[in-house]
Amino acid sequence: MDGSQRPSVRLAAGYFILVLAVAGMLGVTLVGMQAQGAVRVLLQSESRWSVEVRDAVIHLQTFSLTGDPAEWWEYESSLAYPRAVRRPLEVVLESPGDADRLEEALSADPLTSGNIPALRRFTQLFAGRDQTREALGLWLEADRQLQRIEGLADEMLEAVELSGPGSPESVALQEELDRLHHDLMEVDTRFAEVITQWVTGLERTVRIALVVSSLVLAILGTLLMWVAGARLRRSRAALEESEERFRQVSEAIREVFWLTDRKKSRMLYVSPGYERIWRRSRDELMADPSSWLDPVYPEDRGRVEAAVEGQVRGEYDVEYRIELPDGGMRWIRDRAFPVRDRHGEVTRIAGIAEDITYRKEMERELLQSGTVRAMAQLSGVVGHELNNLLTVVQSHAQLALSDVDAGSPVAEDLRAVTEAADGAAGLARKLLSISRQQLLVPRPTHLERLLGESREMIRAVLPEGVRFSLEAPVDLPPVWVDPGYLREAISAFVAYSGADRPDVVWVELDRADSGEPVPVHGGTLPPGEFLRIVVGNNSEGGVRGEPDELFAPMGVQEAVAEGLVAFGLPAAQGILEQSGGGVRLAPEAGSSRACFLIFLPLWEGRPPRAP
């Protein structure tokens, strides 16, 4: 070979090496992408399994509280996918690498048959590996927890059918369900950690191989794998965030929540409350979005149709009557607000419709009788409805805030909505305090935990400069109360104790056993074991006032003159009485300062009897 040929040979060798490097990079990249795709399918399958299981537990919890057969049906429907993947999961662990058995198991159910190609590739790449056994073992462990929940569900169904929702048996099963669900979520979290480590390991392997092949190609491959891994992690985070948003919204909706496109040509969603209030099928409404207008009274229809045009501007708040299929009539209050995208463009219209028939009847009774009692009942109804509405408004405002830029004008408007809703929530509580008939949903509650978690909320009712102190042992037994209403009652006593601006207002919890009847305002409590709550301040003489005056229902004009400070004490006393307890104003032990002494009977496995 002469010298003229050597450069050509070296050039050819260089091209050959470059081709090998490129081929190696492409091969490594292809294998890496296949590996990631296979792991991604596994992660997506488990994520769907996790979502369906969480939905099933939510419906089962709701069924335990309400006994609604529809919730049981939703529970069973949510378990369709988790049950479908149970057998394929066992096949992978029993026979690693047997793609034919896996395909047969996946083909047995339409819910899993679509993943056959991806999961065959996963079996070819990762069958028998320690990471595979560890990840799928965790999934199988979570499935065993799910099977225990299914067994518990059958017991819960029997308890609800025999004793009804909310019975002690149902409560005990609810607590066991919460424990099993917590254990299942812990296993699910460990699975996510294993998969994340797996993906990270794959990324590292691909990066090393690409560096060996070519520095430039390695950098490119590393970036591609990093982006792919980041997208996978973001998908997981977005899925978890979506699940949390759905949970918050679904828990907040109590009336009819509806969602349409901007042109009102498609009904995107309507909550089950539509069938209960309108007594018409949701399917019919989804097929014909304008059919909700059919039962509107002719006298009201023109006004409602004209008002619909203001929905896109957020100027829709109307009351109208509808005729029920049986000839009855209901009053409806319907509100709507626009939903905007990141650019401020209106993309959807959301709304809330509620049955205000009872409120209308109360208004008529108030006008006819002119009695304070009717006004108090009306205030309680309005306060309750306002509180329900504010819960939805606050939830949607928070959800909308998370979707917009924090510095945008839309975000500023949403924060103003949130602040206004918070202020209106205070008004709702004052309205509810006028009517002492509270609808309580009690359950066994550890009060030291409740007050500890609500410390800042309770502190907020005190004037500026007044300190708040909470002393509570950590081993106190539970009491049978409605946590939300009891927190409001304690806040009312704290607010009144701080009305004269003392240096400090304190709340102390301890256990009190009495062999004698316990005196409280308006009567006595039978002997027994109690949780005692002391609310007081360090001013001279302590809490001021006479019990008969403090706990007497206050007129509206008198309450306004007093700044509404004591307006909630009668309602707070009513909440305690409905919970089987009571309160008295008495000197603090070893001191002449007066304080509120609150007594609540300890939870003994059954609700206490109200005095």
| pLDDT tens-place string over residues 422-469 | 777 766 666 655 554 455 678 899 998 888 888 888 888 888 889 999
Copy the structure tokens of residue 352.
């809330």
For the beta carbon of residue 63, count every other beta carbon within 10 angstroms. Answer: 23
pLDDT in tens, 216-248: 555 555 655 665 567 767 777 877 776 576 546
Q: Sign of dihedral through CA atoms 309, 312, 316, 321?
A: positive
Point out which residues pair with 349 in neighbouring strands. Answer: 260, 338
Residue 18 has pLDDT above 50, yes or no: yes
Q: Which region holds residue 438: left if phi is over 0, alpha if psi is between -120 and 50, else beta?
A: beta
Angle, vertex CA 417, rays to CA 411 and CA 421, nearest 5: 145
Q: pLDDT by residue (tens digit) across 287-328?
A: 998 889 999 999 999 999 998 888 888 888 999 999 999 888
Residue 391: pLDDT over 70: yes
For residue 88, CA distances in Å to 34, 43, 105, 115, 128 come to 21, 15, 5, 11, 15
Closest CA to 206 of 44, 43, 24, 41: 24
Instruction: List, for residues 459-515, the tens digit of each pLDDT value.
Output: 888 888 899 999 988 888 999 888 888 888 898 899 889 888 899 999 999 999 988
pLDDT at 321: 94
Residue 23 has pLDDT above 50, yes or no: yes
CA dist 267 and 276 (Å) reads 18
pLDDT tens profile 337-390: 899 888 888 899 988 898 888 878 766 655 554 444 445 555 655 666 667 677
Superfamily of domain 443-601 in CATH is Histidine kinase-like ATPase, C-terminal domain (3.30.565.10)
Give the span between the Cα atoms of 396 and 390, in whole angstroms: 10
Residue that the structure tokens 């993906």 belong to:
199
Which class for 65: exposed (0-12), middle (13-18), buried (19 or more C-beta within 10 A)? middle
Rounded to an integer, the average pLDDT of 180-200 is 72
Q: What would the two tokens of residue 503 be?
A: 């240096």
Q: Give me the pLDDT at residue 597, please.
A: 93
What pLDDT shows up at residue 486? 87
Given a contact cutoff of 8 angstroms between Cβ atoms, the answer to whether 104 and 73 are in contact is: no
Kindly report the backbone phi and psi dihedral angles of residue 504, in degrees, each rounded to the nearest multiple of 5, phi listed first: -150, 145
Q: Classify residue 331 by its DSSP letter.
A: E
In angstroms, the CA 343 to CA 577 distance is 53
Average pLDDT over residues 197-208: 64
Mean pLDDT of the chain: 75
pLDDT tens column, 28-50: 566 666 666 666 666 677 777 77
Taking the CA atoms of 391, 394, 398 and 399 in sequence, report the sign of the dihedral they define: positive
- Residue 258 corresponds to which tokens in the numbers above? 């509806």
Q: How far apart are CA 119 and CA 121, in angstroms?
A: 5
Instruction: List the structure tokens of 587.
Output: 């000197």
The model carries a pTM of 0.34
Residues 6+ apart with CB under 8 A from 11: none
pLDDT at 127: 59
Name the residue among 569, 506, 504 with its Cα closest to residue 539: 504
Residue 566 has phi, psi (to 5 degrees) of -95, 5
Q: Has residue 596 got a pLDDT over 70?
A: yes
Q: Is 553:376 a contact under the CB 8 Å cutoff?
A: yes
- CA atoms of 200 and 205, how far apart (whole Å): 9
3-class SS of residue 335: strand
pLDDT in tens, 119-146: 666 666 665 566 666 766 777 777 777 7
Nearest to 573 by CA among 492, 514, 497: 492
Q: How far is CA 238 from CA 163, 259, 330, 407, in A?
A: 41, 22, 41, 22
Distance CA 393, CA 282 (A): 23
CA distance 481 to 598: 13
CATH number of 254-355: 3.30.450.20
Which helix or strand (DSSP H or E) is residue 543 part of?
A: none
Q: Is residue 90 helix, strand or coil? A: helix
Maximum Cα–Cα distance across the chain: 120
